Structure 1
Amino acid sequence: MTTALVTGANRGIGRHLALELLARGATVYAAARRPDTLDLPGAKAIALDITDPAAVAAAADLAGDVDLLVNNAGISTGATLLGDLDGVRAEMDVNFWGTLSMVRAFAPVLAANGGGAVVNVSSALSWFAYPGSGAYAVSKAANWNMSNALRLELAGQRTQVTSVHLGLADTDMTAGFDGDKLSPAVVATRVLDGVEAGDLEVVVDDWSAMVKASLAKDPREFYAQFLTA
């Protein structure tokens, strides 16, 4: 982790991942759709919309020394699968297609630099859904299994692929949600510690671990709280 590119680095978890990488001595390319919103002294600012293929290709050309790609950029529109299809498509465009576009563009860069690592910031919602979360949950489930597939496809070039899963962190995205929230700084530390340890999944909190464990059980047990008789 000597040279990293972090998407969505202007706020929340992405900003703290960039800060923690800088603190660990890494060179950091901080990417955001609006680089003027970045507040990361010491980082190299990049204008990047991960849904724009030309912008993604330009970032890969510019950051040719990267050995760690952190795909943190994501959106949550609140769209349901039977509601606004534009919202569903927007979430898939960013959370799945945009992330995949970044990996496809940077895979040759990582290979040239010894293999390196890819970190895909996903969610506990990769493994469940709750009312009103349909599009986000589906996009993060796709993001999670994309990491599993990419891990196999990139093994030959010795690129580690790590998927990150957590519940609520104290960010702008979760401002409207009640409940205990993790500090983004704590999330960043646990993620990077996991990457350094070679973890293929970083399950950040106990809530996410409980959700993952529930997959081995009858789904009626987990979803009883949402379903009526």
Structure 2
Amino acid sequence: MQISGAVALVTGANGGIGSHFVEQLLNLGVNKIYVCARSVDKLNSLVIIDPNRIVPIELDVTNLESVTNAASQCQDVTLVVNNAGTSLNQGLIAASDIDSARAEMEVNYFGMLSMCRAFAPILKQHGGGAIINILSLLGKVNLPFSGSYSASKAAAISMTQGIRAELAVQNTLVVGVMPGTVDTSLAKEWPDPKVAPAEVARAALQAVVDSIEDVYPGEQATQVSAQLLSDPKGVEKYMAGFLPGMVLAGTNA
């Protein structure tokens, strides 16, 4: 699939990675970008970049009615970037309740699933198109410091594989993007190495062009994904040392 001439939709467009998707999509020559956030007021700084091609959409991925309304307004979409996500840095047992785990699942799993379900028929009408799901390397191995987030991303990875299988018949490419620590405000307390959000967007869009289904942007993701193939239990045990309540900044995690 070529990015030039596409009509894209980016959820969480006002976030650290989302804004880089918008910038790079514009540079690659898309016809239009629907930028989405819970409040359209948060999208003003993006819209002014190119008002002729950027269209703001109010969207809460955890609200099915909101997702349905967005789909009805964006019937010409050929590329969906499921970038909206949340991380609350809570353990599974150490957390005072399961509210954080539910919140992360609502955004990172159910919200993404709702978007895929709503836009799959639209993509089919336009010959298949593509879906980019922003996942996480922590969906491959749990980091107890952020255990419930890791679990939500694991669910999202499995869901991405299932959707990929179901949508193959309509020629929709489904790309799973699994970076390690991304250099955004959500990871400000986390140690290096961090991958630049611009690199995550670039790698994801290049995967669409090259029809690559799984991509691991950045040094950390590349190394750990290889280690997970050669010594998965060793990686699990290493990650198990980073427990809820730890201050990760400045460690060698």
What's the TM-score, normalizing by structure 1?
0.94
Give 2:34's match in structure 1, choosing from 24, 29, 33: 29
Contact 1:162 1:202 in 2 (8 A): yes
2:247 is matched with none
Give 2:130's match in structure 1, choosing from 104, 112, 117: 117
Contact 1:80 1:135 in 2 (8 A): yes
CA RMSD across the alignment:
1.5
SS of match in other structure, 1:25: coil
Greater displacement, 123-132 / 57-66: 123-132
Greater displacement, 123-132 / 203-212: 203-212
Shift in alpha-carbon separation, 1:149–1:226, aligned structure 2, 3 A: closer
Shift in alpha-carbon separation, 1:109–1:180, aligned structure 2, 3 A: same
Shift of 1:178: 2.0
Which consecutive unaligned segments of at least 5 residues does structure 2 have? Answer: 242-253
Query: Does residue 8 in structure 1 map to residue 42 in structure 2?
Result: no
Q: CA-to-partner distance for each residue in 1:121-152, whole Å, 9 max, x for gaps? A: 00111111223111111111111111111111
Contact 1:13 1:187 in 2 (8 A): yes
Distance 1:201 1:21 in 2: 20
2:146 is matched with 133
Matches within 5 A, 1:40-189: 40=46, 41-42=49-50, 43-82=54-93, 83=95, 84-189=97-202
SS of match in other structure, 1:180: coil
Distance 1:77 1:190 in 2: 26
Distance 1:224 1:215 in 2: 11
Distance 1:130 1:72 in 2: 21
Task: Give the partner amino acid of 1:36.
Answer: D
Greater displacement, 141-150 / 215-224: 215-224
Task: Give the partner amino acid of 1:30.
Answer: V
Distance 1:198 1:155 in 2: 12
Distance 1:183 1:148 in 2: 26
SS of match in other structure, 1:75: coil
Distance 1:164 1:220 in 2: 23
Distance 1:227 1:63 in 2: 43
Which consecutive unaligned segments of at least 5 residues does structure 1 have? Answer: none
Shift in alpha-carbon separation, 1:35–1:190, aligned structure 2, 3 A: same
Shift of 1:215: 3.0
Shift in alpha-carbon separation, 1:156–1:179, aligned structure 2, 3 A: same
Shift in alpha-carbon separation, 1:156–1:223, aligned structure 2, 3 A: closer
SS of match in other structure, 1:154: helix
Shift of 1:223: 3.4
Shift in alpha-carbon separation, 1:24–1:149, aligned structure 2, 3 A: same
Contact 2:194 2:218 in 1 (8 A): no
Contact 2:175 2:204 in 1 (8 A): no
2:24 is matched with 20
Shift of 1:187: 1.8
Task: Give the partner amino acid of 1:35.
Answer: V
Distance 2:175 2:201 in 1: 13
Contact 1:128 1:211 in 2 (8 A): no
What's the TM-score, normalizing by structure 2?
0.86
SS of match in other structure, 1:215: helix
